[in-house]
Structure 1
Amino acid sequence: MTTDMRAWREQVRRIADQGYCTVLMPDVPGWQPSPAPTLAVAASITDLRVGTWVYASPVRPAWEIAWEAHSLTQLTEGRFELGIGTGRPGIEDLVRDLGLPPVRTRERLERIRAAVEDLRRLDGPDVRTPVAMAVRGPQARALAAEVADIVTIAMLPADRRDKIERIAREFRDVRDIALALHVSVVGETVAPFMTGPDTVPAELRAADSLAYLSDDPSAAVDELQRRRDETGFTYVVIGSNSADTLAPVVAQLV
C-alpha cells in the first residue's frame, strides 16, 4: 500500500467499482498506516467489506486484537473480518526490533485462542465477527478447525499442489468452513507482501502451484472454477497490484 492516501482512496474506490468484495491489509509496521483506522476509512468511502490479513499474534496482546476487531465490526456495521495468524516468516526479527520478548509457537496459538474468545464475549450473542485464520502446521490447523470461520493455508512457493489440496479437504471433512486461497502471483506480477522476494512466476506456473493464477481472464476463470469444484476454495485473495488485471474475471464470476 502506498502512503499517498489520496491515491490509495482512489484505488479503493476503483476496486469497489470493479466488483471486488473485500479490502484486506497486512499487519507490518512501516509498510502502511495502522490497519484498524485505515480499514475504517476504506469502509466509510465504499460498501466494501474490510479485514486484516493477518494480525500477527506475537506482536499484539489478545485483548487488543479483540477490542479492535469488535470496534471495527461496530464502525463498519458488520463489514469487518478479523484475519489472524502466528506471523509471517521473519516475524522474530520484527518482535526483536519492537523490543518485545520472544514468543514461542504454543504461546502464539494460545494468544489466538484468547483473542477469539475475548472477541466472542465482546460481540455478545447477537453479533459474530468472522475470524479468518492463516495456518500451516498441524497445531495451527487444529485450532482453526475449532475457532475459525475462514481458513487460508500459508503456502510456500515450493509447496506441491496436492499437499495444499489435501489439507484443504481435511478441513472440509471436519466441518463446513470457508477456504480462502492466497494467490501471490498473477501472470508475471508478484504481490510483494504476499510472498518472498525470490519468487519466480515461471517456476510457480510450471509447478501448477495454487499460489499462481494466469493473467488471461478466460484461463483464470476456468482455473478458479476448477479449484472451487475440486477442493472447495471459494474465497480468493490477490495483491492490489493485480486488481485491474483480474477485474474481468470478477465480472464473470460475480
Structure 2
Amino acid sequence: MPDQAKPRPFRFGVVAPITSDLPTWRDSVRRIADSGYSTLLMPDVPTWQPALGPTLATAAALTDLRIGSWVYAAALREPWSTAWEAHSLSVLTDGRFEMGIGAGRPGIEVELGLPAVSPAERRTRMRDTVAALRKFDGPDLHTPVVMAVSGPKSQALALEVADAATFVLATDDDRAETTNRVRDFTGHRDIELAQHVAAVGDAVAPFMAAPNLDTAALRAADSLVILPSDPSAATEEIHRRREEIGFTYFVIGANSAATLAPTVATLTGQ
C-alpha cells in the first residue's frame, strides 16, 4: 500500500439497477441504506432501464444515502450536458452525489446507432466533462469525481482531475498483476482507490459483468473482481486488499448487498 500516515477508512457502494417492479426496487434501496452502505449507484445503460439522472434523484429522496453514477459512459455523452446533470444532482441532494465517469464499453455507441467514438475522443470528453463540472460547481461546491481507468493515458487523466479511481480489470488479471498496476499508479499522489466487484461467491451482479461470468475461473486466477460470500472471509480479504494494494472503496451489486451486510457493518469507517 502507498505510504501514508493513516489508511483511508473503508466505505461501500451498491450498484442497484431497476431489475424488478418499482415497489420492490424502492424496498431494496431502503434495505441497502439500513445495512450501512454509503452510496447507491446506477449504471449508464440506455434503453435497458430508466435514465440514470431521474433514477438517482428518486433514490436520493428515499434515503440519506449518497448517490452516484457507475459510471457515465463518455462514448454516449456530451461533456456540457453531462456536467450540468451531475452538478444538478449535487445541488438537489445537498452534496450527496458523486460523479463516476469512464470511457464506456467498446462499441456501445455503435450498438445504439450512434457514430463511433475513438479512445482519444472518449478521454477528451472525460476531461471536458470534469472541467465543465468544476465551472458549474463554482467555489462553493465540489462534486467528487470517480474515474474508471485502464491504460496509462486514462490513468494519467485520473491523477490530474479525479478524486478517486477504479481500475477496469480483465477477468483473467491475477492479484500480482493488479497489485503492480495499482502500486505504479498510486506512486504519483494520494487518491482514493475503488474496487469494482463483479461477483460475490457465485452471484454475478447484473450490469457489472457478463451474466455468464465464470466465478470458478475467477477464483482459480486469484482475480480481484470477486469476493468471498462468507462475511468473515470477505472481511479478511478486504483488509488484505487495503494493506497490500490500497483499495478502500468497494462497490458490489445489489444482489449481494444482504450477503455482505455483516462485513459492511464491521468495516465501514475503520
TMscore range, shorter length: over 0.9
Letter in 1 for 2:48: W
For residues 213-253 of structure 1, the C-alpha deviation after alignment (integer angstroms, 9 at most, x for no partner) is: 10111110000001011111000010110001101111111
| Rounded Cα–Cα distance in structure 2 between residues aligned with 1:30 and 1:82 | 21
The equivalent position to 2:140 in structure 1, one of 102, 118, 126, is 126
The equivalent position to 1:194 in structure 2, one of 203, 208, 214, is 208
| Rounded Cα–Cα distance in structure 2 between residues aligned with 1:31 and 1:51 | 18
The equivalent position to 1:233 in structure 2, one of 247, 253, 256, is 247
| Rounded Cα–Cα distance in structure 1 between residues aligned with 2:233 and 2:110 | 44
For structure 2, the 5+ residue unaligned runs are 1-17
Q: Does 1:96 align with 2:96?
A: no
For residues 163-185 of structure 1, the C-alpha deviation after alignment (integer angstroms, 9 at most, x for no partner) is: 22122212321111000011111
Secondary structure of the equivalent of 1:237? strand
Superposition RMSD on alpha carbons, in Å?
1.1
Is the CA contact 1:3–1:33 (under 8 Å) kept in the aligned structure 2? no
Secondary structure of the equivalent of 1:210? coil
For residues 141-196 of structure 1, the C-alpha deviation after alignment (integer angstroms, 9 at most, x for no partner) is: 11111111110001111112222212221232111100001111101101131112
| Rounded Cα–Cα distance in structure 2 between residues aligned with 1:36 and 1:164 | 32
Q: How does 1:39-78 map to 2 (within 5 A)?
A: 39-78=56-95
- Structure with bigger helix share is 1
For residues 188-219 of structure 1, the C-alpha deviation after alignment (integer angstroms, 9 at most, x for no partner) is: 10113111233111111122211111011111
Q: How does 1:139-154 map to 2 (within 5 A)?
A: 139-154=153-168
Letter in 1 for 2:28: Q
Find the counterpart in structure 1 of residue 126 from structure 2: 112
Find the counterpart in structure 2 of residue 79 from structure 1: 96
Find the counterpart in structure 1 of residue 39 from structure 2: 22
Is the CA contact 1:63–1:118 (under 8 Å) kept in the aligned structure 2? yes
Secondary structure of the equivalent of 2:259? helix
Find the counterpart in structure 2 of residue 6 from structure 1: 23
Secondary structure of the equivalent of 1:140? helix
Q: Does 1:253 align with 2:267?
A: yes
| Rounded Cα–Cα distance in structure 2 between residues aligned with 1:206 and 1:99 | 38
Find the counterpart in structure 1 of residue 10 from structure 2: none
| Rounded Cα–Cα distance in structure 2 between residues aligned with 1:32 and 1:225 | 35
Find the counterpart in structure 2 of residue 213 from structure 1: 227
Letter in 2 for 1:165: T
Q: How does 1:132-171 map to 2 (within 5 A)?
A: 132-171=146-185
Letter in 2 for 1:85: G
| Rounded Cα–Cα distance in structure 2 between residues aligned with 1:37 and 1:3 | 17
Task: Note the C-alpha offset of 1:97.
Answer: 4.0
Which structure exhibits the higher relative contact order, with contacts defined as CA atoms closer than 8 Å and separated by 6 or more residues? 2
Secondary structure of the equivalent of 1:174? coil
Letter in 2 for 1:78: G
Is the CA contact 2:147–2:165 (under 8 Å) kept in the aligned structure 1? yes
